[in-house]
Structure 1
Amino acid sequence: MKKNVAIVMVITIFSKFFGFFREVALSYYYGAGPVTDAYLTAMVIPGVLFTLVGTGLSTTFIPIFNKIMTKEGEKEANVFTSNIINIVLVFATIIVLLVMLFTKPVIMLFAPGFIKSPESLSLAIQFTRISIFGVYFSGIIYIFNSFLQTKNSFLIPAMLGIPMNFVTIISYVIASKTSDNILAYGIVISMVLQVLILIPAAIKLHFKYTFKLDFKDKYIRQMLFLAIPVFIGSSVNQLNTIVDKNMASRLQTGTISALNYSNKLNGFIQGLFVMPIATVMYPTISKMAIDKNEKGLKNTINKSVILISLFVIPATIGAMLLSKPIVDLLFLRGEFTQAASLMTSKALFYYSIGMLFFALSMIFGRVFYSYNDTKTPMVIGIIGVVINIVLNILLIGPLGIGGLALATSLSSAASTSILILRLRKKIPSFGFKEVLGKMIKITLASLIMGAEVYLSFNYFNSFMSQNLSAILSIATGGIVYLGIILVIGIDEVKDVIEMAKARIGKK
């Protein structure tokens, strides 16, 4: 597992930095205005619609595929995969037709505030009617990503973001000089490219396509039984996105864009450190659950939680302390104004509060899925959304965009806490006290690092530029944090160092 995590993390670093450059490029060419708001809304619509199905697919595919491989062999597993692909394409066609027929009502559901901005509404309609065709390809991407992971092939899924982001950035450049519609075409083309990369990789790992369209297949029924709670839970999570976008559209122009940029910054940390661990962990614990290897499963979960905490807790402290300098450093250029920076940094500060809870929910949710328990995360997800909606209403007045971000963080904290309590009942000997002890040590080290970052930033900023001050204070803070962690002694740090040495040694 350590080797796979190292590989995925290295590739993810390149992919996420490229993805971040994509956000910088969007802010440079379009800033936080009506075109960006329309574009981001058009991106969210197909994303939300198919993520509902895609999350259910990717979550339930792995345990079912492993079961078929064990009981019936590779041929039947390939037939099962082919059947899912065909069923997904049928559902994608239905989604495309519905959105094409009811584009305006769908957009008004996501961004009712666009009724006051005819330009944003008109652009969002144009963009959505182009980008919605991406659902065909996003469905196939979900399936083949999961297929490759069952084969312990994590390299291709991890690197998919690189060509996708490259195409998207090119579309920003071309669109800024020609037609804004190129933005939407860029979304679809980037998805096509991902599929063209995944298909040969799947074939190399012995995937053979068979035409089969059987909705009554026993494994499809099993998958559907497991996927329905995941689908509902995912729908509930996507409802969070809809509610946030809905309420953001009622605030000043550019709020949707600012919320997106801050969310991407938060997601950058999750994607960089959490997803590689969660991606590699899930197939591993899924097999352990099938083999009833409870000891190995607990050890894997505990190591994953500590590894994630080592990265996410200091990142949380740093993002909260330097939210404005970080946003200025990354985005303040081109069409991205000081007003946009203030909105984005405010949202980033409040999103950062929930960063660790977002990460832990990703890990613990997969533990339930590995036990074929998809109902518990669904119920807890519904509770989280209700909390988020209530807090949105309460906090948007006094805090504006910050209220939306804080509501998301607090609801995530609440739902993750419930998830942990339920997990302790499922695995009584989980050993959470040991994990909590290490997390407290990491938090103390992070707070000391935070004090150093705060003091060094103010010192550097007294005689040099803000951007350089931010870079230097982050660098010195990282050195201080690493030193403290090595002194207090956390075993998982050795794993990180070994992974780094292994990758450097190969180069």
Structure 2
Amino acid sequence: MGILPPMADTPPSTSSGEIVRRAGLVATGTLTSRMLGAVRDAVVAAVFAIGATDAFWLAFTIPNALRALLGEGAVSAAFVPVFTEVREREGKEPAKTFYRHLIGTMSIVLLVVSVLGVLLAPWIVKLYAWGFQRDPALFDMTVALARLLFPYIFLMGVSALLMAALYASKRFAAPAFAPALLNVALIAAAFLLVPTVERFGWPGIFALALGALIGGGLQVLFQLPALAKEDLVVTPRFDFDDPYVRKCGRLMVPLLAGLGVYQLNLLLSRLFASFLPTGSVSYLYYGARLAEIPQGMFALAIASAALPSLSDAVAHRDEDEAKRLFRYALRLSLFVAVPACVALTVLAEPTITVFFGRGRYEATEIQETVRSFVWQAGGIWAVASVRTIIPMFHAHNDTRTPVIASALNLVTFVALSFALMGPMQHAGLAAATTAAAVVQLIALLWLLRRRSGRLGLREVGRSLARVATASLVMGVVVASMARLGEWHLGGNHPRNLGVYAATVVVGALAYLGVARALSAPELGDLRAALRRRVRA
């Protein structure tokens, strides 16, 4: 871009173990958030009627999509490389000034987006819940919920900026654990705020919207102490003329476009589901949330932990080191994503039963959720790989190339959705999502090969062969143990809870045992990470 002076060519000294330690911390925080999210979804499914949950999850679609864009990639991917360059080449104070200007500028943008969302809610909801207009009461409820939820965008955008600053400073604990507060707030709202909102004449489901706003505020406050330790609690100032703010904006726009394709797929999926029988939106949502537990816990954790090191390597013009770190991150991601894919596919019915089989969520709802969850779980490995590959482009300040792969994802998803949603209903939408992720993965690998030359993927292939072997053995073990359950008795039955817990533990031990027998190096890396103190 010509903004920054040249750097010294001294290579960075980031070790693979450091990435594992960081990823372990991020994964622990993400696991906490995802598990609380699963508890939240189970509580919502048990407490509220299926029609009300359809309205809430659709109303939450736009704010939650922007949360995913900002909190799970866009801001960090654009900010970290620029902040790292400025800090390394000009010093901490210029980097801090850039950060102050970026927060001020982004806050204005986020505020405008939130206000427009509140004002334009009826038209926005029509775009992705067109089918709900067949039921005016359901449509009006969705619009009212959306208006309450749009201010969440501002809170999440600010939280994402704080996360990005902490990631760039290689502090991972606070941003890793902050998202869990949203789920805590929603769970508390479901139990504590329903009587209050009903006294005001609102449907009980509105308690969740209030809980989301409370959770967003808590996430911002939770990160301030960690920022203070890095001297990054700043007074925001609007300055779009700052060249680094402009550079960050130029990086972020195509990045949002690329990541936005995934969210557009989600919006289209909800739109298509709104034309299907009542409950389809919730079936897809609950299944996707469970599939996202390993995706977010491992793939996102590894990608977030690797990006600062990849950025360091690229900033020091050490392409070989960047490729080595990329291969390492991809191997580590597949080491945990492939067995998760196999286990959740084989245990689809037991998993849905244990998490949702209680309260108002009855046998019919469980079976319908299983139909789509099988396809969603089957795509975990592809989504995890995509999330691990994309930071390699971002580290090079290349946020445009991934948009090409994302566009192929979108085209594939739309075409297959039209073909499959008729005969397969909501399960067809889940199958289309997984197939589109595989197409995106293939495109990304091809584009990265063109950009960076040979990637040394034979090393990844050998690792994948070991992982696949261990996963198949584990799959046979968990399938055999799952037969001991009486899943038609529901998720609260003691036998089912015991069988499921034992199956998960024995399956994990079987996978790790075979991986050890095959001398999988990733196992040693993970074990070593547990013995080291992680800088929080």
Same fold (TM over 0.5): yes
- More displaced, 476-485 or 146-155? 476-485
Aligned residue runs from structure 1 range 103-118, under 5 A: 103-118=121-136
Paired AA for residue 522 in structure 2: E
Query: 1:6-39 CA deviation, whole Å, 9 max, x = no partner?
Result: 32233333332222211111112115x1211111
Q: Does 1:324 align with 2:349?
A: yes
Q: Does 1:423 align with 2:440?
A: no
Aligned residue runs from structure 1 range 442-457, under 5 A: 442-457=467-482
Residue in structure 2 matched with residue 61 of structure 1 by the alignment: 79
Gaps of 5+ in 2: 1-17, 198-203
Judge conservation of contact 1:273–1:312 (CA < 8 Å) in 2: yes
Match of 1:469 among 476, 499, 506: 499
Residue in structure 1 matched with residue 415 of structure 2 by the alignment: 390
Judge conservation of contact 2:77–2:307 (CA < 8 Å) in 1: no
- More displaced, 484-493 or 162-171? 162-171
1:52 positional shift: 5.2
Judge conservation of contact 1:29–1:176 (CA < 8 Å) in 2: no
Rate the CA distance shift 1:135–1:355 in 2: closer, same or farther, 3 A. same
Match of 1:285 among 310, 332, 336: 310
1:395 positional shift: 0.8
Structure-1 separation of matches of 2:339 and 2:236: 50
Paired AA for residue 483 in structure 2: N
Query: 1:198-224 CA deviation, whole Å, 9 max, x = no partner?
Result: 223212211152453222221122122
Structure-1 separation of matches of 2:358 and 2:122: 33
Judge conservation of contact 2:31–2:293 (CA < 8 Å) in 1: no
Paired AA for residue 44 in structure 1: T
Residue in structure 1 matched with residue 149 of structure 2 by the alignment: 131
Residue in structure 1 matched with residue 172 of structure 2 by the alignment: 154
Q: Counterpart of 1:4 in 2: which secondary structure?
A: helix
Judge conservation of contact 1:34–1:119 (CA < 8 Å) in 2: no
Gaps of 5+ in 1: none
Aligned residue runs from structure 1 range 16-415, under 5 A: 16-31=34-49, 33-49=50-66, 55-179=73-197, 180=204, 181-415=206-440
Residue in structure 2 matched with residue 5 of structure 1 by the alignment: 23
Structure-2 separation of matches of 1:238 and 1:7: 26
Structure-1-length-normalised TM-score: 0.95
Aligned residue runs from structure 1 range 476-487, under 5 A: 476-487=506-517
Match of 1:497 among 510, 518, 527: 527
Structure-1 separation of matches of 2:81 and 2:289: 30
1:467 positional shift: 4.0
Paired AA for residue 378 in structure 1: V
Paired AA for residue 506 in structure 2: T
- More displaced, 69-78 or 261-270? 69-78
Judge conservation of contact 1:29–1:334 (CA < 8 Å) in 2: yes
Structure-2 separation of matches of 1:61 and 1:489: 38
Structure-2 separation of matches of 1:50 and 1:332: 28
1:192 positional shift: 0.6
Structure-2-length-normalised TM-score: 0.90
1:120 positional shift: 2.1
RMSD of aligned residue pairs (Cα, Å) = 2.1
1:50 positional shift: 6.0
Judge conservation of contact 1:78–1:208 (CA < 8 Å) in 2: no
1:57 positional shift: 2.6
Structure-2 separation of matches of 1:53 and 1:398: 36
Structure-2 separation of matches of 1:203 and 1:147: 11
Q: Counterpart of 1:252 in 2: which secondary structure?
A: coil
Judge conservation of contact 1:50–1:139 (CA < 8 Å) in 2: yes
Structure-1 separation of matches of 2:511 and 2:173: 30
Rate the CA distance shift 1:272–1:56 in 2: closer, same or farther, 3 A. closer
Rate the CA distance shift 1:216–1:196 in 2: closer, same or farther, 3 A. same
Paired AA for residue 59 in structure 2: A
Structure-1 separation of matches of 2:425 and 2:533: 45
Paired AA for residue 77 in structure 1: A
1:405 positional shift: 0.6
Structure-2 separation of matches of 1:142 and 1:163: 14
1:229 positional shift: 1.3
Rate the CA distance shift 1:211–1:22 in 2: closer, same or farther, 3 A. closer
Paired AA for residue 60 in structure 2: M
Structure-2 separation of matches of 1:362 and 1:103: 31
Rate the CA distance shift 1:53–1:25 in 2: closer, same or farther, 3 A. closer
Runs of 4+ aligned residues of structure 1 deviating over 4 Å after TM superposition are 49-55, 459-464
Query: 1:298-338 CA deviation, whole Å, 9 max, x = no partner?
Result: 22222212222121111111111111111001111111111
Query: 1:420-448 CA deviation, whole Å, 9 max, x = no partner?
Result: 11222223231101211110121121112
